């Protein structure tokens, strides 16, 4: 039995936004769905699922599409700033210093 992916509502919204952004980027470049699916080595159904922000599609497939759009470096920046994580780290360092 396959386990179903469960996401928090905000994660669903974020994935939906990502899918919409991918779709808009593809359209801005004048790339058809069929051509994008071919370039990314995906089925048209998988590309459509990505553009809807489906959580059932693997991260690798999302990355294939982003690579074809020349946007792979943007994905690599996710979490790079991590302001909250740095604040937590700084607070721990301050506690240790006392």
Q: Which pLDDT tens digit goes with each residue over 34-90?
A: 999 999 999 999 999 999 999 999 999 999 999 999 999 988 888 888 999 988 998
pLDDT band at 2 (very low <50, low <70, confident <90, very high): confident
pTM of the model: 0.83
* pLDDT value at residue 78: 86
pLDDT band at 12 (very low <50, low <70, confident <90, very high): very high
C-alpha distances out from residue 74 to 2, 10, 37, Å: 31, 20, 20
Q: Which residue intervals of the chain are DSSP H helices?
A: 9-28, 33-39, 44-52, 59-68, 72-76, 83-97
């Amino acid at each position: 039995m396959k386990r179903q992916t469960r996401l928090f509502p905000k994660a669903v919204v974020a994935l939906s936004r990502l899918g919409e952004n991918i779709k808009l980027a593809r359209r801005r470049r004048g790339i058809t769905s069929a051509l994008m699916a071919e370039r990314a080595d995906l089925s048209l159904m998988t590309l459509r699922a990505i553009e809807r922000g489906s959580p059932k599609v693997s991260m690798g497939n999302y990355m294939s599409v982003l690579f074809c759009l020349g946007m792979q470096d943007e994905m690599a920046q996710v979490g790079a700033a991590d302001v909250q994580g740095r604040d937590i780290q700084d607070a721990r360092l301050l506690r240790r210093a006392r």
